[in-house]
Amino acid sequence: MSTRVDVEEIQTTKGEKLLALVLAVFLLIGGVWVYVKIDDAARTTSPPDFSYRGTPSEQAAVAELRSAEGKLSRAQVAASNARDNLELRREAYRTALEAHRAEAPRLGAVYDQARKRYAQARRNVVAARVEVAQTRPAAGAAERHIAQVQNGRVHKRELLAFALRLAWVIANLLFGFWLLARLRRRGSRYYPVGMAFVGYAVVLAFVMATDYLTDYFDPLDLGPLVLSIVGIVLTLLAFVALQRYLAKRIPGRRVRRSECPFCGYPVRRNSHCEGCGREVLAACARCSEPRRIGSAHCGACGAA
- Write out the DSSP string of 174-218: HHHHHHHHHHHHHT-TTHHHHHHHHHHHHHHHHHHHHHHHHH--S
Helix (H) or strand (E) holding 40: helix 14-45
The Cα 150–Cα 47 span in angstroms is 12
Which of 213, 231, 233, 230 lies closest to 221 in space, CA to CA? 213
| Pair 21, 192: CB distance under 8 Å | no
**In the beta sheet, which residues pair with residue 259?**
266
Question: What is the value of pTM for the model shown?
Answer: 0.44
Q: 4 in helix, strand or coil?
A: coil
pLDDT of residue 46: 53
Asked whether 46 and 160 are in contact (CB, 8 A), the reply is: yes
Note the pLDDT of residue 8. Answer: 42
Please report the pLDDT score of residue 283 as a whole number: 78
**What pLDDT score does 80 carry?**
92
Do residues 91 and 179 lie in contact, with contact meaning Cβ atoms separated by under 8 Å?
no
- Please list, in sequence order, all residues whose beta carbon lies within 8 angstroms of the beta carbon of residue 46, skipping any fewer than 6 positions away: 156, 157, 160
Yes or no: say if 235 and 206 are a contact pair by the CB < 8 Å rule.
no
pLDDT at 4: 39
**In this structure, what is the dihedral angle of CA atoms 88, 93, 98, 104, given to the nearest 10 degrees?**
150
> What is the model's pLDDT at position 5?
37
Q: What is the mean pLDDT of each run of 10 residues along the chain (304 residues)?
A: 40 70 86 86 62 76 87 91 89 83 84 90 91 87 72 67 88 90 78 86 85 59 66 75 72 74 76 80 77 73 73
pLDDT of residue 172: 92
